[in-house]
Structure 1
Amino acid sequence: MTNLLNHLSEGPASAPPLLLGPSLGTSYALWDAVAPELSAAHRVIRWDLPGHGGSPADLIGPGATVADLAELVLALADSLGVERFAYAGVSLGGAVGLHLAVHRPERVSSLAVVCSSAHFDGAKPWQERATRVREEGLARLAESADARWFTPGFTVPRLVRDHRDADPEAYAACCDALAAFDLRDRAGEISAPTLLIAGREDPATPPAHLRELADAVPGATLTEIPGASHLAPAERPEAVLTALRAHFDGDAGRGMAVRREVLGDAHVDRAQARQTPFTARFQDFISRYAWGEIWTDETLSRRERSMVTLTALVAHGHYEELAMHVRAARRNGLTADEIGAVLLQTAVYCGVPAANSAFATAQRVLAEEADGPAAG
């Protein structure tokens, strides 16, 4: 049997690594609505706790600690050739990140702690839960998962099923780890850039726990997400994704958001699907500089930038990209008449043959748009 945590890797192997940790009772499916998007700019590695998802149950035993789990995460990273990594974790997964940031700071480049804490309200509740699970199994406890994890009326059946199917002994050992965890006296030692994300409706680790961490960790940023309970990445993935991108990606994260706004999700999704390790750095370059610095510069409006871009593409004969940016120009508010006026201007300064080809391309795109849904 393998002695490594089960994991899923997504994104280019050459991209900066980002490890994602789960909460107690869930699998790496907790990140299903967030990880694929993060993998546009990162080598995302999400892992399962022992006895959860596909990880062997015997990786930990009674009396386990968060330090034991952290060592398993480092062993996984070592096996994948990952020396230094960004890290985000939920609840118990967040505690693992805090431990790593304190005890192995050379491995953690940046940290996000989601719906977690430097302590979990003392040992007794977790010791009682561990005893109950060892005696009864997880079926009855899983019945209350929705109330512990989500706001009323919301659920993710896959995660509830993962809870029910987890190995009771490994789950209980994870409860032992939570019972013993208290990093309040060491949080001030964390040097990695740290983002703290709280679910405003979270009963397990309320926002006060994250505010306590924010006060302790030097330079930490705190984000509270309304309408989110304990498993915020599953319940409010868009808000979590926005916060994580801003924290981990910088200009590339902002650039990817602008790129989607201008070019549309369908185009960007196709580009990301075609990405390979060979093209990953170029895609990151585009997101970081073209979209993250130039298109976000407020000196020119997006309408004006579309006009400049159309002209440049005509001048160089890049008609495939011209078609893409005609659609972008419509999304940025240019009318068909305004696009025609820009192309007519190019006839004077770029030449009639170039403008002739440009008009043909633009006419095809505008006709396709007229036959489809109205431009937003």
Structure 2
Amino acid sequence: MTPAKLPHHTIEGAPAAPPLLLGSSVGTSTALWDAVAPELSTTHRVVRWDLPGHGKSPADLIGPGATVADLAALVLALADSLGIDRFAYAGVSLGGAVGLHLAAHHPERVESLAVICSSAHFGGSARWEERAALVRREGLADLARSAPDRWFTPGFTVPRLVDDHRGTDPDAYAACCDALAAYDIRESLAAITAPTLVIAGREDPATPPAHAREIADAVPGASLTELAGASHLAPAERPEAVVAALRTHLTGAAASGTAVRRAVLGDAHVDRAQGNTTPFTARFQDFISRYAWGEIWTDPTLAHRERSMITMTALVAHGHYDELAMHVRAARRNGLTPEEIGAVLLQTAVYCGVPAANSAFAVAQRVLAEE
């Protein structure tokens, strides 16, 4: 499916930051993330998208008989239009179901997954078929009036979200109900490889914690967080707790990268770099921990000793001799002998130039002598 039109979306955060896509529940809009997205945009390029006929999305993006796969195709088309290949994804309810489908059927696109107040199935088809018929027949007024009881704990509400429910296109809402009726991904959960966080609201009547536990038990390595004082729309009711859980989940790659960085460069160097981090440089430090060390150096295709040889060559080619000294020490940690380091630098004399290699030998000789 290649939609001619795309869902409405908003973008926050630096263009070069790692992308995070946020999907909302049926009956709500991107406003569901109003208290969460700005916080996450300090470290991510946050893309919120509206379901068809919700918020500002065109209603005719889907029709009767729609499936979660159709909605997932809309998300992929949106990501493609923004030049986003791999992304982190977090979604609530139907938005979470879309995330599960993406992670199960398009694993090459999903970097990490957070499933919030959602389910691997939504209680069978009958209730959703009945709701779809009701909405097509009578509109959304009655459902909007009862929305706070389904969405929030007693005494709490977000009028903006209730207004969004009331303003949703009935045909598109009914088509989303069709998607919920047909959805059951339980047999595919074990195939999900993306790091997965499942968040449940302890007082959620729509997708109770048992549904979240079912997902967490089936997805390999998934973690589960249950939020007290939260019902079905946890990002609106408990935004601070949702932000904290997502931050911990999304920085998992950075934590892994930091461990590799320490193994290659040594604790003293990493401690010094972290100790010198300022608010101005914090995002850069996070960037290199996640990408350079959390993705490239952890890729098992090449061994660390091979990566050391490539890195030294590149540093010589660009004249980065301060960095070269650090990576000569790293090469020794990664098992290269002085003779092998010398052979790498001799190779650079051929392809990077004799003056560059001469400077590189001087740096390496000093570092090796210090050992």
TM-score, normalised relative to structure 1: 0.68
Q: Which amino acid aligns with 2:284?
A: F
Q: How does 1:21-100 map to 2 (within 5 A)?
A: 21-100=23-102
Counterpart position of 2:305 = none
Q: Compared with structure 1, are the counterparts of its residues 3 and 214 closer, same or farther at alpha carbon in structure 2 (3 Å cutoff)? A: same
Q: Which amino acid aligns with 1:85?
A: F
Q: Is 2:287 the counterpart of 1:285?
A: no
- Alpha-carbon distance between aligned partners in 2 of 1:252 and 1:233, rounded to the nearest angstrom: 24
SS of structure 2 residue aligned to 1:87: strand
Q: Which amino acid aligns with 1:52?
A: H
Counterpart position of 2:168 = 166
Counterpart position of 1:212 = 214
Q: CA deviation at 1:286?
A: 4.9
Q: Which amino acid aligns with 2:174?
A: A
- Alpha-carbon distance between aligned partners in 2 of 1:156 and 1:233, rounded to the nearest angstrom: 11
Match of 1:147 among 133, 142, 149: 149
Q: CA deviation at 1:206?
A: 0.2
Match of 2:246 among 238, 244, 247: 244
Counterpart position of 1:224 = 226
Q: Compared with structure 1, are the counterparts of its residues 189 and 45 closer, same or farther at alpha carbon in structure 2 (3 Å cutoff)? A: same
SS of structure 1 residue aligned to 2:246: helix
Match of 1:17 among 11, 16, 19: 19
Work out whether residues 34 and 237 of structure 1, in 8 Å CA contact, stay in contact via their aligned partners in 2: yes
SS of structure 2 residue aligned to 1:101: helix
SS of structure 2 residue aligned to 1:55: coil
- Alpha-carbon distance between aligned partners in 1 of 2:73 and 2:253, rounded to the nearest angstrom: 32
- Alpha-carbon distance between aligned partners in 2 of 1:191 and 1:288, rounded to the nearest angstrom: 23
Q: Note the alpha carbon deviations across 1:71-127, whole angstroms, 9 max, x for none.
A: 000000000000000000000000000000000000000000000000000000000
Q: CA RMSD in A?
A: 1.9
Q: Note the alpha carbon deviations across 1:34-72, whole angstroms, 9 max, x for none.
A: 000000000000000000000000000000000000000
Q: How does 1:242-281 map to 2 (within 5 A)?
A: 242-250=244-252
Structure 2 unaligned blocks of 5 or more: 256-277, 290-371
Match of 1:117 among 112, 116, 119: 119
- Alpha-carbon distance between aligned partners in 2 of 1:24 and 1:288, rounded to the nearest angstrom: 34
SS of structure 1 residue aligned to 2:6: coil
Counterpart position of 2:186 = 184
Q: How does 1:350-361 map to 2 (within 5 A)?
A: none
Q: Note the alpha carbon deviations across 1:263-316, whole angstroms, 9 max, x for none.
A: xxxxxxxx99xxxxxx8xx441356899xxxxxxxxxxxxxxxxxxxxxxxxxx
SS of structure 2 residue aligned to 1:143: helix
Work out whether residues 5 and 48 of structure 1, in 8 Å CA contact, stay in contact via their aligned partners in 2: yes
Q: Compared with structure 1, are the counterparts of its residues 80 and 120 closer, same or farther at alpha carbon in structure 2 (3 Å cutoff)? A: same
Match of 1:126 among 125, 128, 131: 128
Work out whether residues 90 and 115 of structure 1, in 8 Å CA contact, stay in contact via their aligned partners in 2: yes
Q: How does 1:334-345 map to 2 (within 5 A)?
A: none
- Alpha-carbon distance between aligned partners in 1 of 2:143 and 2:13, rounded to the nearest angstrom: 35
TM-score, normalised relative to structure 2: 0.69
